[in-house]
Structure 1
Amino acid sequence: MRQAREIHCVGIRSTVEEVRSVLTRTYPAILLALALPAQALTFQTRMEDVQWQVTGDQFACRLSQSVAGYGEATFVRNAGEPAAFELKAWDNHMSSGAAQLYNEPPAWRPGTAVVPVGRIAVKQGEGTMLVPQQQAGRMLAGLASGLQPTIMRTGFAGSDPVRVVVSSVGYQDAWLDFQKCVSGLLPLSYAQIAESLISFGSGGSGLSAQAKAMLDTAVIYIKAEEDDLKDILLDGHSDNQGNRLDNRELSRQRVLAVKDYLVEQGIDDELFVMRFHGDRYPVASNRTDQGRKANRRVMLRLEKN
C-alpha cells in the first residue's frame, strides 16, 4: 500500500513540474500580452503599400521602411559593426520614458506568440529613437520569421499609447538586397581605424600583408575624411630586446615604414605627426614572447579638426 502511495505522489510531482516548466516558458509572453492595451494609436503602413528600400556604399548599408503617418524605420549596418536600428519620427507622439519593444505576429498569423525584445528610451524633443545592436538583431530575427517589430509608449498627457509597427511584408527580398550591400562593406569602421595598431616582427620594420591590408582600409577613410582631418599621429614602439638607442631607432624605422606606405597611396605628407618611443612604454610584459609581440607596434590615430 505504501509503495502505491509513493508512486502516486511521484506522478503528482512530475505533473507539477511539467506545468511549472510550461508556465516558465510562456509567462513573459503572457505578461506582455496582458500589458498591451486594447486601445492604442497605431501607425502602420497598409500591406499593399509597404515598400523596403536598400541604400548604401562601402561605409554603411541601410534597410528602411516608411511607416505611414509616423516616420522612417531603418536598420543600419556600418562597416565593421553589427546592425543597429533607428526610428525617425516626423512628429513624435510618444512621451519621454521607456518604450516597450517586441515582435508581434501579423493579423494573418493568429495564435502566434508575441516575443518580447526589450525596452528603449524615448527622449522628449528628440526626433530619432536609437535601438542598440543586440536588440536590433532580435528585431531582424523576428522579421526573418515573419513577425513585425513593434515599439509602444504612452502618448503625451496621458493619452492612448502610441504603437509603431514595422511590417514584415516583402522583407525576404529586401533582406537579400541588404546582404548584397553588406558584402561590399569595408572590414573595419572609422572608429576602429581612427585608433589602430600595426604589429611588427622581432627586430624588423617590414609591413606584413595583414598590416598593409589594414592600412589600405585606413587610406579609404583618410581620403573620405580629408577635409575634416587635422593630423595622422604615428607612435612607434619596440620590445626591450637590445639597447635603448637601437630600440628607439627601430621604433623610428617602423613609423617611417607606415608613413611611407600611406604616402605612396596618396596621403598628404604634411598630415603626419611622428614620435619614436623605443621600449619606454610597453603595453605587456617583455618576459614572454606574447608580451614582446604586443610591444612591437605602431599606433595610428586620426584626429579631426
Structure 2
Amino acid sequence: MTRTYPALLLALALPAQALTFQTRMEDVQWQVTGDQFACRLSQSVAGYGEATFVRLAGEQPAFELKAWDNPMTPGAAQLYNEAPPWRPGSNAVPVGQMTVHQGAGVMQVPYQQAGRMLAGLASGLQPTIMRTGYAGGDPVRVVVSSVGYQQAWLDFQKCVSGLLPVSYAQISESLISFASGGDKLSAQAKAMLDAAVIYIKADADIQEILLDGHSDNQGNRLDNRELSRQRVLAVKDYLVEQGVNEELFALRFHGDRYPLASNRTEQGRAANRRVMLRLEKE
C-alpha cells in the first residue's frame, strides 16, 4: 500500500549558518508503504535524498537516511530533535549519533535513537542530522519536517498492526531445546514453532526447511543418534500438523557428534539437546 500526505502550509526560511537540506513546507509529503514483512514511513528531503523509518516484522523501528550525493564528510553525525521556527525559544534535544560513510548510500540509525526521533515528531519537533561539510565549508544540516506527520503516523501504525510476529532473520535459524532423554516438545518450543509456521506460510520464497537433530553424550552413540532422529521427527510432525508442506523438509540426525557446549556440565548438556531449524530461500 502507498499513501501520500501533502502539507498545505507556508514555506519556511532556512538558516544561513549551515548548508541546510529541507523540503519546503508546502511540498512536504509523507509516504506509508508496506506489507506483512515490513512497513516504511518516508519523506523526501529536497536536494538531499530520502529519510525513512523502517519497521520490520518482529523488530523495533529503525531510521535510514539515503543520500543521492552526500556532501557530508565521513564520520559521526549529530542527531537532535529541533523545534520548528514557529516555536521560538525551544532548545534542540540531543538524540544520538549516526555514522556517515564515504559517498552516496544509506546511513542507518538503531531503534533507540529512531524511537526518540519518532517521539520528537509526535511532539511537533523536527529530527535533524548535522555533520561537517567538505573543503572546510559550512556544516551540512538535514531536516525531517514534522508537517503532516500525525495522519501519516496513524496509517503507519495500521501497516505495523499487519506485520508478521517475526522476521526472516529472527526465525531462519531457530533452536528447539529438549529435556534429558526426551523427544517431546515443550510449550515454549511449540510457541516458537507456531511463529515459524506463520512466517513459512506467508513467505513464498521459502524453498527448504532443514532440521538437524542433536543429543548430549549421555548413553551410547547409537541410542543418541536415534534420539536425535525422534526429536527431528517431533518437530517435523508438529509443523506438518500445522499445515506446512511436507515436501519442504530435509532431515539430518547427528546424535552427540556436534556439541554446542561441553557435556561435562548440566548446562552444557542442556544446550546440546536440540533441533536446529533453518529456513532456506532461493
* 1:234 corresponds to: 211
Alpha-carbon offset, residue 304 of structure 1: 5.2
Alpha-carbon offset, residue 286 of structure 1: 7.9
**What does residue range 17-166 of structure 1 map to in structure 2 within 5 Å?**
39-166=17-144
Q: Is the 8 A contact 2:225 2:253 kept in 1?
A: no
Letter in 2 for 1:139: M
Please give the alpha-carbon distance, in whole angstroms, between the structure 1 residues aligned to 2:64 and 2:203.
24
Alpha-carbon offset, residue 145 of structure 1: 2.0
Task: Give the SS at the match of 1:91.
Answer: coil
Task: Give the SS at the match of 2:128.
Answer: strand
Change (3 A) 1:74 1:240: same
Measured on the aligned residues, the alpha-carbon RMSD in Å equals 3.0
Q: Aligned residues: percent identity?
A: 78
Task: Give the SS at the match of 1:169.
Answer: coil
Q: Deviations over 1:115-138 (max 9, x none)?
A: 112222211223211112222122
Letter in 2 for 1:137: G
Task: Give the SS at the match of 2:85.
Answer: coil
Change (3 A) 1:286 1:143: farther
Please give the alpha-carbon distance, in whole angstroms, between the structure 1 residues aligned to 2:230 and 2:264.
20
Q: Is the 8 A contact 1:255 1:276 kept in 2?
A: no
Alpha-carbon offset, residue 205 of structure 1: 2.9
Alpha-carbon offset, residue 203 of structure 1: 4.7
Change (3 A) 1:250 1:72: same
Aligned pairs, how many?
A: 267
Please give the alpha-carbon distance, in whole angstroms, between the structure 2 residues aligned to 1:278 and 1:123.
46
Match of 1:252 among 229, 244, 269: 229
Q: Is the 8 A contact 1:259 1:272 kept in 2?
A: no
Q: Is the 8 A contact 2:212 2:277 kept in 1?
A: yes
Change (3 A) 1:276 1:180: same
* 1:298 corresponds to: 275
Task: Give the SS at the match of 1:272.
Answer: strand
Task: Give the SS at the match of 2:108.
Answer: strand
TM-score (norm 1): 0.74
Task: Give the SS at the match of 2:141.
Answer: strand
State whether structure 2 residue 147 is matched by structure 1 residue 169. Answer: yes
Q: Is the 8 A contact 1:194 1:301 kept in 2?
A: yes
Task: Give the SS at the match of 1:135.
Answer: helix
Match of 1:274 among 252, 260, 270: 252
Q: Is the 8 A contact 1:47 1:169 kept in 2?
A: yes
Letter in 1 for 2:96: G
TM-score (norm 2): 0.80
Q: Deviations over 1:163-221 (max 9, x none)?
A: 11001122222222222222222222212212211234565434455534433433454
Where is the strand percentage greater, Structure 1 or Structure 2?
2
Please give the alpha-carbon distance, in whole angstroms, between the structure 2 residues aligned to 1:72 and 1:263.
43
Please give the alpha-carbon distance, in whole angstroms, between the structure 1 residues aligned to 2:217 and 2:206.
37
Task: Give the SS at the match of 1:141.
Answer: helix
**What does residue range 216-227 of structure 1 map to in structure 2 within 5 Å?**
216-219=194-197, 221-222=199-200, 227=205
* 1:194 corresponds to: 172
* 2:5 corresponds to: none
Q: Which has the larger radius of gyration?
A: 1
Please give the alpha-carbon distance, in whole angstroms, between the structure 2 residues aligned to 1:177 and 1:227.
27
Where is the helix percentage greater, Structure 1 or Structure 2?
1
Gaps of 5+ in 1: 1-36
Gaps of 5+ in 2: 1-14
* 2:6 corresponds to: none
